[in-house]
Structures are given as C-alpha cells and as structure tokens.
Amino acid sequence: MSKSLTKKEFIQKLAMKMNTDEKTASDWVDGVTDSLYEAFKEGQGVSLTGLGSFYLDFRGHSCAFKFNPSQKLKKLLGWSSTYTGDI
C-alpha cells in the first residue's frame, strides 16, 4: 500500500500547485474541511465534480458515511469507468 500524505505534505503540494504560500493553502484546506463538516452536520452530502460524492446513508437510528468516486477517479484507479478525458 502506498504511503499516505500528511496534512502538512498535502498543504505543501497544494501551495506549490496554486503558486501561493503554505499559510494560504492551509487556510483553504481548513475552510474546505470545515465546510464539509458543516454540510454533514446538516445531513447533506457533497458532490465534487472530478472527485466524487460524499454522503450520509441514514438507516434507522444510525447512519454511515459513504463516498462514491467520480468516473475520472475510477479511471485513475483502473476501475470500470466511462471517463474519456486525460488523467
């Protein structure tokens, strides 16, 4: 299994990709994370084109957190996909 990026490593990559400093990239990551938590807290799912959909599956008195990957991500992972663009 591949090594996972830490949050710090991810922020460094994002800062380089966005041509900004790590503080700004960290603020963006925290803002996205907080916004996701707020949506889940309200019982909403979140769909991010090109990545996939995060959603809560309510069953009785409990719920499960689920992720449905986009076709692009499925293609990247070598799964069955209808995506025809570049990876």
Domain ranges of the chain: 1-43, 45-87
Summarize the confidence of residues 4-9 as an average pLDDT: 96
What sections of 1-87 are H helices per DSSP? 7-17, 22-41, 71-76
Rounded CA-CA distance 52/31 in Å is 19
pLDDT digits (tens, 9 = 90+) for 16-60: 999 999 999 999 999 999 999 999 999 999 999 999 999 999 988
Question: What pLDDT score does 27 carry?
Answer: 98
* Phi, psi for residue 68 in degrees, rounded to 5: -115, 110
Overall pTM surpassing 0.85 (yes/no): no
Question: What pLDDT score does 23 carry?
Answer: 98
Residue 81 has pLDDT above 90, yes or no: no
